[in-house]
Structure 1
Amino acid sequence: MAPDEAVIGCTGELVVGTRGAGGPGEVLVRVRGGTETFIAYSDEPLTRGATVLVVESLGHRQVSVMAWSDPLLDPPLGPSPGDGGGAR
């Protein structure tokens, strides 16, 4: 089966955690107006419930993923870029 290019860049949630080099997990990906499950591989172990980004399609409903946090939903902690960072 050919790689599924439509899933690259999509986000999903791990329904079974990955074990890094120890083996894959399973991810529920938001794609094509719905959700689909794929076998998920990652370089490092990721826990069940983690939000991930699909970075590669391996074919046969298998993907490579990495941990992901939406910068619009999860802003970084610390001073805002426009606040100058100093006391007033």
Structure 2
Amino acid sequence: MARDEAVIGCTGVLLIGTRGAAGPGEVLVRIRGGSETFLAWSAEPLPVGATVLVIESRGHRQVNVMEWVDPLDASAGDPGDAG
């Protein structure tokens, strides 16, 4: 199966945490007007519920992900806290 270029740059939520090099987790990604699941690989283990960014498609419904915090999400932190 060819790489799925459309998924690169999408965000998702881990349904099953990743284990770094020890194995994949599973991510639910909003794509193509719906939601799809993919096996998710990451350099470091990531917990269930983590928001991730898809950085690469491995093909065969597998992707590489990294933890993601939306810089525009107001609840992620208060810029007024910087001292």
Look up the equivalent residue of 1:54 and give its one-letter code: V
- What is the match of residue 53 of structure 1? 53
Shift of the alpha carbon at 1:65? Answer: 0.1
**How high is the TM-score relative to the length of structure 2?**
0.90
| CA deviation string 1:13-69 (max 9, x = no partner) | 000000001100000001111110000000000000000000000000000000001
Look up the equivalent residue of 2:70 and give its one-letter code: D
Look up the equivalent residue of 2:68 and give its one-letter code: W
SS at match of 1:21: helix
Larger radius of gyration: 1
**How high is the TM-score relative to the length of structure 1?**
0.86
> What are the ranges of 5 or more consecutive residues in structure 1 without an aligned counterpart?
80-84
RMSD: 1.3
> What are the ranges of 5 or more consecutive residues in structure 2 without an aligned counterpart?
none
Runs of 4+ in 1 over 6 A off after TM superposition: none
For residues 5 and 58 of structure 1, the distance between their equivalents in structure 2, rounded to whole angstroms, comes to 10
Kindly indicate which of the two structures has a greater share of residues assigned to helix. Answer: 2
- What is the match of residue 82 of structure 1? none
Aligned length: 80
Aligned-pair identity (%): 70
- What is the match of residue 8 of structure 1? 8
